Structure formats: C-alpha cells, structure tokens
Structure 1
Amino acid sequence: MPLANSSNLNAFLGAAVLGVISAAGMYLVEHYRQEKTRHQMAKDLARLDQELGQVRRELDQLLTKKRTKPHKARGSKTVSKANSMISGSEDYMSASNLDSSDLEFYDLSDDEPTVTSSTDLEKALKLIDQKLNTGSLEQLEDALGNLRDLCMEYPEHTELLWRIGKAHHKIADCCDDQNFIREQISKGIDACELALKLKTDCPDIHKWYAILVGSRSEYVSLQDKISDGHLFKKHVDAALALNPSDPSLHHMLGRFDYEIAGLKWYERKVAAALFGEPPNATYTEALEHFMEAEELANFEWKENKMMIAKCKVAIGEYKEAVEWLERANGCKLGDNSDDKIDTEVNILLDKYKSYK
C-alpha cells in the first residue's frame, strides 16, 4: 500500500554508514523483563500439572487392575487422595492469578518458550493490521496498545516489534506537536532496531526502520541527516532485495534518488567533506524506480504519478509530464494526504499547461 505521508521521505542527503547502536531498543526489553518471572512461574506450574496428571493416570491404571482383585476400596482411597492433591494445585494456580492462557505458550523444556498457537497470533495481527491501515488516530492508538499486550505473551517477537515501529510512525503522522512527533519516531526506531537484532531477513523490519529514520531527518543536524540518508538507502535496498515486488519500496528509492539528484553543489561539497564521497543519483534513475512502482501497484497511486511527472519535468519531457499530472489529478483516493498532493499537482499543471 502507499505510504500514509510520503513527504516524510524527502530531504535525505545520504552517504555513509551509521552503525546500529548497541543499546537500541532496550526500553522494550526492560519493559517486559518483569514478565519473565510470571512466565517462569507459569512454566513451573505447567510442569507440576503434568506430573500430577501422570500420577492420576498411574493411579487410574492401578485402580483398573484392582477391580479384579480384593481390597478395591484401598485403591479408591489412593485415587481420592491423588484427586485431592490435584485439586490443591488448581487452588494454588487460582491464588496466583494465573489462568490457562498463561500456560498455553510454554513447553516443559529448559529452553525459551515457543509459540504453540500461531493461528491465534495471526488472527490478532490481521485485526491489528486493519487498524494500522485505517489512519484513524484512535484506531492507531488501539492497535499500539494491542501490540504491547501481545508482547507480554510473545516477548521479542519481530512481527510485533516492526508493527510497533509502524504504529509509532503513523501516530506521529497524525499529530502536529513537534516534541511528541520526535518522541514517537524515536520509540519506533528503537522497536525496529531491536527487531533487526533478532532477525535480519524480514523486509518489513528494514522497510519501517528506513521510513522512521527518514522521518527524523528534519529534526537532526546536517551531518546526521547525511548519515541517516545513507542508512535509509541501505535498509530500503535490503528490504527490496527480500521483497522486490513491493511497490512502496520502489517509490521510496525513487524519492531518495530524486532528492539526491536535486542536491545543490554546496550540499554535495558538504557531503564529500564529511564522508569522502558525495551522493550520486540522477533523475532518470529516480524515474525508473517510480515507473517500476507504478507497474507493480494494484491501485491508483496519485503521489507516484505526480513524482513521475516531476522527473519528466526535470529531464525536459514536459508534454509527457503534463500527461502524468492529468492522470494524477484524476485519482481521488480520499485520504489525508490528498489535499496537499492536489495543491502541488494543480500548481504544476498551471505552470506547464502550455505543453499540453
């Protein structure tokens, strides 16, 4: 799907590697650390429940054998005693405020617990994705709360972590308070950095990490902006290598190349002085990425059409640029970014209408 606000991908100056900070994402680890005590208790209780269940089965077998022999009552007393023991364990479980769901995801080995109800998690993530794609602030905050709750049951689960990053980005995109936006972007980056430490072959982790890094570009120094530009490019490339059929990734790469191609000479000099190698991209390269995004998209993508037109203007193909602007003008998606894009499209149409 198209990004909720692709303008956040502007102004990346990119040209050097920024290493992943070793402490990134630790607020999430600390947030769930206390849950591990409760999880261990649930695990111990599960083991106790299994052991008592084994006692019950053995005694049931003994009772069956005793039925053909005298002293049957003696066996019944033993079973009654075992039932009393099991009842006691159930009372302890209730007193500990733990229900069966606390035991559901833990095996009886000494290894870390594994998810045994992946279908339930998939259903939960499907509902969360619907909320994340609505654009409503209330729905986004609700989705973020759902994700945090799920992290209690599935700590350090990468499918939850990158969605937390996405939720923070979308919440930031709905607000105007700059301090709040910076805070949301920072939390989203931390979540995605932790996800990257746990898994490196998930395109969505790389994608949303790149988007969040790009979103903070207007809040950092020029040097950090240039570093973040390279980091953005690195992770978009990684995501694209893992999922080459995602049109939004091609659009993001097109935006990056478009901004690099438009750098002023002194901005290139600054990048070269700081990092030894100036950024390099052309409008033609940007156009190729936007055309690829257009071909892969299964929806009418107004902003992508506008960017194709802007590339056409930049390389002097004005007649074709006007044609793409008219196509963009014919798209009415009704989302929050429509007004801003419509304004830019109309300005460009008025400026180049003589080439129609």
Structure 2
Amino acid sequence: MAAAGARSSLLAWIQRLRGGHVTGLRGGSGSRYIRSHVLKESALLQKGLVLSSLSLLAIGSYRWKNRQAVVYASIKVDDVKEQADYLYGSGETEKLYEFLSQYGDSNDAEILWRLSRASRDLAQLSKTAPEDKKRLVYESRDLAKKALEINESCFAAHKWYAICLSDVGDYEGMKVKIGNAYIIRDHFQRAIELNPKDATTIHLIGVWCYMFADLPWYQKKIASALFATPPSSTFDEALVYFEMAEEVDPNFYSKNLLYLGKTFLKLKNNEQALLWLHKAKDYPVRTEEDKEVYKEATDILKSLGVKV
C-alpha cells in the first residue's frame, strides 16, 4: 500500500511539473530545464525500466544533475540482474556466463555472486573440457570471495563462496578439503542467518552433515591424524536439515528428495526411504542434475527389489 501511494504521489508530482506548475520556479530556463528532465524520467517509467517509487522519491531530494546520474547507474545494475535472472531461470548457462563475464570487474556484490554461480554452472556441464572446468571452479571461488569482501551481508555471496570453496577442495586433496570444512559450514550458517527462507542453503548444510556422517573409516582416521577435532556429524542431524528445507519450500529440489530417501535408508526406516526415493524418481527432469538424481533414485529402488 505504501509503495502504491508513493507511486501515485510521484506520478501526480510529475504531471504537475509537466504542466509547468512548479512552486518557486516561474518560467525561465530553470523551469524549462526541470520540465525537460521530468519528461525524460517519465519516458523511462513508461518504457518499463523498473525502479522503486520510494527510491525515486528519495532521489528527488538531490540536485537534478546528481539525481540523473544516480538513476541511470541504478537502472544499469538492475537491468543486468534482471537479465541474468531471466537467463538463469531459462537454463541458458552458456549465454548467462557470456553475458555476465563483461561485468567481471564490477564492484556490485549482487552481480559478482551471479557471475560466480554462472562460472560454476558452466564448469558442471558434462561437455566442458577438464582444463576449462578447473579454471572455472577457481574463477567462481574468487568471484564469490570478492562479492563477500564488498558486502559481507549478502547471503548469496556466503552461499556461493561455500559451494565454490568445496569444489576447489576436489583439486587440492583430502587435507585441504577437510580443513576447509568448518569454513564452508560457517558460511552456510551465516547465509541462513541472513536469509532463513532459502531452502537451498538449508539443504546444503544437510549435505555437509550427511557427508561427514557417511565418511569412510579410513578417511575418518586420516582426519583424526591431521586435525585435533576433525569435522563430524550424524544422519539424524542431516535429516533435520533436509526436512527443514522441505518445510521451507516443498519439493523445491530433486536432490533434497533423494537425500531424504538416502538418509532414511541409513536410519533403517525403509518405509520413509521408499516414499522419498519415489518422489525423487518422479521429479520432473529439467537439468543434468535432475537426470543424475533420477538415475540414482531408480538404481537404489531396484537394489531394494522395487520394480520401476
């Protein structure tokens, strides 16, 4: 309601200026100058370049010259984010990376974490060459880290830095991977503090718990030799996060359904395991990851003697 009222007031204010009824400025070059700029701003609104009405009202307190610069800078950043989100939602991984790469020197955390995500997604494609995959993995980590340095309060920067740091561990050995585990967990937890409604981050904490609960005995032995207090968790703890992710956003992610099934299997609850494994198998296949989930869920069900 407040935004609608602000928008109505703004449009009425613009109409008054367009009609030349400006208190304190009667005719002359000043009136013509203001009216010309108001016409430009009105045209921008009519073209659908979306800016918050409240933000425009606040900007109105600046001088016209400064106001114009701030508005155009804001439009550019907003347009980049809007286009990036559209390409991401459309599954256009390569186009998204190509589009965002031109903004790699940006000082906007929202753009940088999106580019970090795009770099990682491109690295995950099966057709990406191994040497390109490694370069993209490190690039994605560095971009997320830069986003964090710019804005520590950006939940998505924490989320993607943790994800990308985990990917880097695949290239740097078990010691580094385990050593980074606490850092990864802490960034996931910080992301949840900043945005408790992001089901993906909650799911990823669950994966962290599952991974260390399921660590083979020899890796646990290596971890104990390297660290005084190596990371550890339980399947019960992992289950809490997977169930929490479903509560926040039901059936949001095929892999969360799969992990629920696998975790219930580990806890010897076959009835619940079958329920979630079937949900994972029946999840609409839209991405390469969905295909992998379908295959794994189907294989597990077959191993349990279920006809699929």
Per the normalisation by structure 2, the TM-score is: 0.72
2:111 alignment partner in structure 1 = 160
> Among residues 314, 323, 336, which one is paired with 2:288 in the alignment?
336
**RMSD, aligned CA:** 2.4
> Among residues 63, 78, 83, which one is paired with 1:122 in the alignment?
78
1:134 and 2:86 are equivalent in the alignment: no
Native 8 Å contact 1:210 1:236 kept in 2: yes
Native 8 Å contact 1:309 1:322 kept in 2: yes
Task: Identify unmatched segments of 5+ residues in structure 2.
Answer: 1-27, 30-61, 64-68
Native 8 Å contact 2:94 2:122 kept in 1: no
What secondary structure does 2:178 align onto? helix
Native 8 Å contact 1:308 1:321 kept in 2: yes
2:255 alignment partner in structure 1 = 303
1:265 and 2:217 are equivalent in the alignment: yes
> Among residues 281, 287, 291, which one is paired with 2:233 in the alignment?
281
2:43 alignment partner in structure 1 = none
Using the alignment, how far apart are the partners of 2:128 and 2:89 within structure 1?
A: 20
Q: Deviations for 1:9-61, whole angstroms, at most 9, x for unmatched residues?
A: xxxxxxxxxxxxxxxxxxxxxxxxxxxxxxxxxxxxxxxxxxxxxxxxxxx99
Question: 5 Å matches for 1:58-73?
Answer: none
Native 8 Å contact 1:322 1:353 kept in 2: no
Which structure: larger Rg? 1
What secondary structure does 2:117 align onto? helix
* Structure 1 residues 234 and 121: CA distance shift in structure 2, 3 A: same
Using the alignment, how far apart are the partners of 1:343 and 1:219 within structure 2?
A: 26
Using the alignment, how far apart are the partners of 2:204 and 2:176 within structure 1?
A: 19
More relative contact order in 1 or in 2 (CA 8 Å, sep 6+)?
Answer: 1
1:234 and 2:186 are equivalent in the alignment: yes
* Structure 1 residues 353 and 301: CA distance shift in structure 2, 3 A: farther
Percent identity among equivalent residues?
Answer: 26
Q: Number of residues paired by the alignment?
A: 241
Per the normalisation by structure 1, the TM-score is: 0.63
Native 8 Å contact 1:171 1:184 kept in 2: yes
Using the alignment, how far apart are the partners of 2:252 and 2:218 within structure 1?
A: 38
* Structure 1 residues 120 and 194: CA distance shift in structure 2, 3 A: closer
Using the alignment, how far apart are the partners of 1:121 and 1:313 within structure 2?
A: 47
The one-letter amino acid paired with 1:144 is L
2:207 alignment partner in structure 1 = 255
